[in-house]
């Protein structure tokens, strides 16, 4: 007789009305024949949501909850509430998974490996049209066609941006981090430099405004790691939609709902390869599922659930 398991899981963040994580994880639980459910827990930015957060973490310690995902705006501010961090979460400086090990609540980060995997799937797909960033001979880094390090412009300096920068640094990208507050971009860059991340000397801060962006005339990749463009907010873009994008760049928008964000639409209309972060969302969800259950995630089921939730098959 098969062993029976129950998993009560959830997501904390604010706001959450755009999230499709419950659809993805509940489909995975059903496919794996687990009971339980994955619920959304809207949690106001700290310190406003402090009492609710402490209650949820207490439920994890008691065994009522078996795992939590963390999204904007809590990926960094939740760290002091946890007992330990995995090596990846510690280096990234952001958490999107909480799991219990013995009596300890541990923060992990699956955004970084999920982004890395989905980005390179996207780059491989777009290479037929825009072969601007390719692996070098020993696959140790990404380079431009002229052999120089590939350059990425990362928009944002929060927890998602930190995961993106961590992944790109490991692959030898030169990185520009643009944030609405220059101090935030500098803090992110200096944090990786202090940790002596490989090639962290190739990361520079930039103010995220029209004048600064207009000076970026060449890069291989633009990554939106801000929430701008999310369906629950205004139809907005972190890149001014009347400012030409760098010629030949590819665009990866971590926002996945709507299925075509204003930035992705603008890039495609300019003839550039562009994609949202749905693939990253599903992969980080799969890695979280495996962390909590120690069972291989049913990725095909999770992708199908994501597509259904976004009405991509209608």
For 293, how many CA atoms within 13 A lie in the half-sphere containing its CB? Answer: 29
Chain-centre distance for alpha carbon 295: 22
SS3 12: strand
pLDDT tens digit sequence for 157-198? 999 999 999 999 988 899 999 999 999 999 999 999 887 665
Which one of the listed residues 75, 125, 268, 308 is annotated catalytic?
75
pLDDT tens digit sequence for 96-107? 999 999 999 999
Which residue ranges form the domains of the chain, and what is each CATH number? 6-109+282-309 (3.40.50.10860), 130-272 (3.40.50.720)
pLDDT tens digit sequence for 213-231? 999 988 999 999 999 999 7
Six-digit token string for 237: 């873009």
Check whether 15 has a pLDDT greater than 60.
Answer: yes
Chain-centre distance for alpha carbon 52: 24
Check whether 136 has a pLDDT greater than 60.
Answer: no
- 75 as an active site residue: the answer is yes
Six-digit token string for 14: 């604010």
Cross-strand partners of 279: none
- pLDDT at residue 148, as a whole number: 64
b (16+ CB within 10 A) / e for 299-310: eebbbbbbbebb
Check whether 134 has a pLDDT greater than 70.
Answer: no
pTM summary value: 0.92
Q: What is the overall mean pLDDT for the chain? A: 91
Are the C-beta atoms of residues 73 and 44 closer than 8 Å to each other?
A: no
């Amino acid at each position: 007789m098969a062993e029976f398991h129950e998993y009560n899981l959830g997501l904390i963040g604010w706001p959450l009305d755009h999230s499709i994580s419950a659809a993805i994880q509940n489909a995975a639980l059903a496919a794996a024949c687990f009971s339980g459910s994955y619920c959304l827990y809207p949690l106001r930015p700290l310190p406003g949501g402090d009492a609710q957060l402490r209650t949820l973490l207490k439920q994890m310690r008691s065994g009522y909850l078996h795992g939590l995902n963390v999204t904007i705006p809590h990926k960094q501010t939740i760290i002091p509430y946890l007992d330990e961090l995995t090596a990846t979460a510690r280096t990234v400086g952001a958490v999107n998974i909480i799991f219990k090990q013995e009596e300890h609540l541990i923060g992990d980060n699956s955004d970084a490996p999920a982004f890395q995997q989905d980005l390179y799937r996207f780059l491989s797909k777009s290479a037929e049209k825009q072969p601007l960033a390719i692996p070098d001979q020993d696959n140790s880094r990404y380079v431009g066609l002229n052999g120089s390090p590939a350059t990425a412009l990362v928009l944002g300096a929060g927890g998602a941006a930190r995961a993106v920068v961590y992944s790109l640094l490991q692959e030898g990208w030169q990185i520009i981090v643009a944030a609405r507050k220059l101090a935030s971009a500098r803090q992110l860059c200096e944090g990786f430099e202090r940790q002596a991340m490989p090639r962290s000397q190739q990361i520079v801060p930039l103010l995220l405004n029209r004048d600064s962006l207009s000076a970026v005339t060449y890069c291989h990749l633009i990554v939106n790691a801000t929430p701008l463009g999310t369906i629950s907010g205004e139809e907005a873009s972190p890149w001014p939609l009347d400012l030409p994008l760098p010629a030949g760049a590819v665009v990866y928008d971590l926002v996945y709902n709507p299925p075509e964000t204003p930035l992705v639409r603008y890039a495609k209309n300019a003839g550039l390869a562009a994609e949202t972060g749905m693939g990253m969302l599903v992969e980080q969800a799969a890695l979280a599922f495996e962390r909590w259950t120690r069972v291989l995630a049913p990725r095909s089921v999770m992708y199908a659930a994501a597509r259904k939730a976004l009405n991509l098959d209608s």
